């Protein structure tokens, strides 16, 4: 009879996430991960298969948290314009400097692994696709409620907002100040939703 795994799975995944997020996939050694998760090699293989399997589950957990916050904000049916603005305010501009320096785990993964591991990079990219679709849906609602200009399609507006979000996360990892990040996104929000701050 197989022995039960003697560790808290979620706690171990959270610990592995911190290592991957700080160092990237390639630079995170198996021993560093084992030390952080406080498990042995056999437990890791039994629970996750290998390093790639662990990382895939880390990405899934990270996305679940994003969906709970970002997609939740973008699902504001009564005031989608506010939901769009809140995404940038609460998930980027309100973060601490240390958090900003980490960037977005999904974006980091795509940048790092696209040339060397297309499977893991594509897995992360699909998670970002869900966020982009939530932006597009919010833009459609905002246009229906006359909160957003109709001079641009909701699909284009959503993709533009997503591109800005990704760019801001890359810039934040470079150490760009929050005030400068705000100056980068405010003109776009004002262009798309000119009445946002006048209500």
Q: What is the pLDDT of residues 148-158, one digit of tens each?
A: 999 999 999 99
pLDDT (0 to 100) of residue 17: 96
More confident call, 135 vs 103:
135
Average pLDDT over residues 98-114: 91
Task: Say if residues 87 and 165 touch (Cβ distance below 8 Å).
Answer: yes
Structure tokens, 138? 């919010």
d(CA 74, CA 171): 23
How high is the pLDDT of residue 95?
77
Pick the CATH number of 57-198 from 3.10.50.40, 3.20.20.70, 1.10.357.10, 3.90.550.10: 1.10.357.10
How many Å apart are CA 163 and CA 49, to the nearest integer?
34
Place of tokens 């849906």: 137
The answer on pLDDT for 190 being more than 50 is yes
Of 11-20, 21-30, 56-65, 99-108, which range is least confident? 99-108
Question: Per-residue pLDDT for 19 more than 60?
Answer: yes
Average pLDDT over all residues of the chain: 91
| Rounded Cα gap, residues 63 and 26, in angstroms | 20
CA distance linking residue 104 with residue 100, whole number of Å: 8
Q: For residue 10, is pLDDT > 70?
A: yes
pLDDT of residue 2: 41
Residue 199's Cβ-side half-sphere holds a number of Cα atoms within 13 Å equal to 11
List of residues 6+ apart from 133 with CB closer than 8 A: 158
Share of the chain above pLDDT 90, in %: 79
d(CA 162, CA 16): 27
**pLDDT score of 4:** 44
Note the pLDDT of residue 78. Answer: 94
Structure tokens at 180: 């400068």
pLDDT at 99 over 90: no
Query: pLDDT at residue 45 above 90?
Result: yes
């Amino acid at each position: 009879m197989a022995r039960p795994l003697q560790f808290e799975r979620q706690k171990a995944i959270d610990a592995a996430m911190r290592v991957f997020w700080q160092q990237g996939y390639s630079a995170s050694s198996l021993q560093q991960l084992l030390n952080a998760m406080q498990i042995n090699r056999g437990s890791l293989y039994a629970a996750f298969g290998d390093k790639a399997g662990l990382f895939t589950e880390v990405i899934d957990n990270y996305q679940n948290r994003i969906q709970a916050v970002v997609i939740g904000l973008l699902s504001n049916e009564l005031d989608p314009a506010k939901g769009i603005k809140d995404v940038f305010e609460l998930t980027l501009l309100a973060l601490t400097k240390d958090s900003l320096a980490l960037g977005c785990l999904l974006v980091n993964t795509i940048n790092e692994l696209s040339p060397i591991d297309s499977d893991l990079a594509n897995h992360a990219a699909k998670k970002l696709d869900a966020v982009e679709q939530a932006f597009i849906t919010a833009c459609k609602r905002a246009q229906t409620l006359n909160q957003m200009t109709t001079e641009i399609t909701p699909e284009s507006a959503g993709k533009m907002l997503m591109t800005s979000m990704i760019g801001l996360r890359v810039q934040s990892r470079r150490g760009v100040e929050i005030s400068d990040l705000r100056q980068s996104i405010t003109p776009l929000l004002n262009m798309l939703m000119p009445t946002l701050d006048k209500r």
